Amino acid sequence: MSANLDNVLLLALANDELDKFLVGEPFYFQEAKNDYEEPQNIVAAFDLLVLRYWQQTRDPQFPVRWVTALLKILATYPDRNRAIYVAASWVWYYRFCLSKKQAQPEGLYADLFEVDMGAVALALQRQLELNKAELVQDTRWAGGSWNSQNGQNGLWGPLMRTALVVRDKLGGPDFVPANL
C-alpha cells in the first residue's frame, strides 16, 4: 500500500471530511477494479484504509467518528440515493468483516473494532422508506440492468438484498424497510 492511500483517510480525518471519504467524493474516491462503476470502492477503502488505520492507531475516537459520518451522510448528503447506497454498503461490509472476525479469531479482522450500528440502521431504514420511488428509478451502480430483475427495480432491489443479508446472515443491524 502506498503512502498516498494512507493519506486519503488521514486527510479526511484531519479535515473533518470522513463523510466525503465514505461517499467517495473526488480526491477521497478509491476506484473499483470492476466492470461497473461504484461511488466508492468500499471493500478496498475498508481493508486498505479503515482497517489498516485502526490496526496502526487504535484511535479510540475512530469508531464513533465513523458512525457519526455515516449518520451525517444519511441526514445531509445532497444525493440521497448515493448516501443510502454507500451507507448500506459500508454497513454490509463492516458486518461481513465482523463475521470473518468471529469465524477466524486469528485472521485479518481479529482486532477489528466493534461499534453499535443501531442508529445508522434506523436512519438508513427511514431513508429507504422515504426514498423508495427514487431508488426504484435510479439505475446507477448496482441499480443497472445487469443487476436488476428485468431492469425494473433500480437501486431498490440490490439495497433490499443487502438489507436482508445483513439482517438474516450477518447478525444485523436490521434496516429492512417496512415498505419492502
pTM over 0.85: yes
The number of distinct structural domains making up the chain is 1
**Residue 141 burial class via C-beta count within 10 angstroms: exposed 0-12, middle 13-18, buried 19 and up:** buried
CATH of the domain at 8: 1.25.40
Has residue 177 been placed in a domain? Answer: no
Domain residues for the domain of 35 are 3-168
Has residue 32 been placed in a domain? Answer: yes
Per-residue pLDDT of 101-117, as tens digits, reads 999 999 999 999 999 99
Per-residue pLDDT of 158-171, as tens digits, reads 999 999 999 999 99
